[in-house]
Structure 1
């Protein structure tokens, strides 16, 4: 900060130059001079000028102090605001959700955030890591929706849907995150209806590069899958936004490079034919169940 230095008042300056040449005052030389005032009295004009100068200096110092205080307060406010922005607070956890359908299929949300659908004694576990904006994931669903539904219903396999959001840049409204949030909203309400909801979401998947489906459309899809009106607020408020970002980071750090990534009893399925071909994962699930 630049500080202004007070200059002597014009009249005082004239006193130093009175008589046509420069005369240094006693205050500046540190010694006494002959006073123009008779009887050695103080010059009232000089005293008044000094008082005026001191008053101005005091005002300048006071103003500077106020400005410094304001700048400091603004700086603290900006720092606090930035700290709050950088620290979004604790990540909300997914609530425990469990339900069992009349035919014995149980739906739960696992500790790591996957939605698990299947009978308790299922020998095979199929894990599907997907993004609801991913076109290849839609292809996987088309090839395997019925295969996975049959495997769940006959007790052969349980399916864990691990929905993440890494394609937000493929839309103008963070559709990937909003769709993943809807995934948790419906799973929280009733995970046993989740597979039907997933199929509907992929059937109505929006093209990449656009705005994605609006929230009211996501609410409509949930209702059409049999979910109550209560899921609407969860969807429109994007309740699990922070959790989805944290979960997505964890999944990507674990080594997942693309979606869909499919695992059967912990072993990744690499063959495109087994993932997207006719019959989909049927032969892979059957082979795992036979072991």
Structure 2
């Protein structure tokens, strides 16, 4: 029987083999880290996109279960407006407003009673598009918070909505400040007859904030660039006399009702 003579290991060859194995291990490890990183980035992007695309809750106004002697009802229109009026009203008044807007406050002071009377006597339904494009005019995103509160209030009881809105405009905070705190808006609701305990949570949680932002974008992209923008049966009201003179909108509503 013969044997191959034993030989010593080549140290250079062993070192090269160790280096090669180490390089392969490093490459595999780096590749694994890169794959994990890419996956994490992809998941992060997907999560952010999902959050961005999430429309959030949509406000709704349910039919009241108790008799409503006034006949006034509420609904949310396709463009996000809060519609208040009797079902057979011949005239629709659409008001695009921001609760931080001083000109909107002036319009409301001049025409709130005209609108309330037209709603109560069945002549007109009013559609309020309360948007939030003046967040920069407060340090607490007051426009968005107030618009959210507007939906909370309307959803709770549309028959008291016009009174709440008018009171909110009357106590409009100055631009550049903190805006009204949430508890003040909630108290205003209580002062105008709201008793629903869920309303306070809706306001403080900013339940409809995403909906407010989406409807604000829709309104601005539709070509409306200022507030208040007022329409009577689709016709835009252009004159300062109609918008800012006390009772100035009444003739336009009366003409449209004929």
| TM-score, normalised via structure 2 length | 0.88
Equivalent residue in structure 2 for 1:190, among 157, 175, 194: 157
Say yes or no: does 1:74 pair with 2:37: yes
Mean CA deviation greater in 240-249 or 132-141? 240-249
Cα distance 1:236–1:68, how it changes in 2: closer, same or farther (>3 A)?
A: same
The aligned residue for residue 163 of structure 1 is 130
8 Å CA contact retained: 2:58, 2:211 = yes
**1:212-254 deviation per Cα after TM superposition (whole angstroms, max 9, x unaligned):** 2222222222222222221112111111122112211221222
The aligned residue for residue 27 of structure 1 is none
Equivalent residue in structure 1 for 2:24, among 61, 64, 75: 61
SS of the residue 2:53 aligns to: coil
8 Å CA contact retained: 1:97, 1:190 = no
Say yes or no: does 1:50 pair with 2:17: no
Mean CA deviation greater in 97-106 or 205-214? 97-106
**Distance in 1 of aligned mates of 2:139 and 2:45:** 25
**Distance in 1 of aligned mates of 2:180 and 2:44:** 33
The aligned residue for residue 229 of structure 2 is 261
**Distance in 2 of aligned mates of 1:130 and 1:93:** 20
Say yes or no: does 1:89 pair with 2:53: yes
Offset of residue 96 of structure 1: 4.1
Q: What 5-or-longer segments of structure 1 have no aligned partner?
A: 1-38
8 Å CA contact retained: 2:61, 2:74 = no
Q: Which has the higher contact order (CA 8 A, sep 6+)?
A: 2
**1:165-211 deviation per Cα after TM superposition (whole angstroms, max 9, x unaligned):** 11122222222111111111111111111001101211222222222
**Distance in 2 of aligned mates of 1:188 and 1:278:** 29
**Distance in 2 of aligned mates of 1:262 and 1:89:** 30
**Distance in 2 of aligned mates of 1:50 and 1:225:** 90
Equivalent residue in structure 1 for 2:212, among 244, 252, 256: 244
SS of the residue 2:207 aligns to: coil
Please say which structure displays the higher CA radius of gyration. 1
- How many residue pairs match? The answer is 250
**Distance in 2 of aligned mates of 1:170 and 1:82:** 31
Mean CA deviation greater in 258-267 or 277-286? 277-286
Offset of residue 59 of structure 1: 2.2
CA RMSD, Structure 1 to Structure 2 (Å): 2.1
1:1-291 superposed matches below 5 A: 42-44=7-9, 47-87=10-50, 88-91=52-55, 92-99=57-64, 101-227=68-194, 228-289=196-257, 291=258
SS of the residue 2:230 aligns to: strand
8 Å CA contact retained: 1:165, 1:248 = yes
**1:79-99 deviation per Cα after TM superposition (whole angstroms, max 9, x unaligned):** 321232133234233324344
Offset of residue 49 of structure 1: 3.8
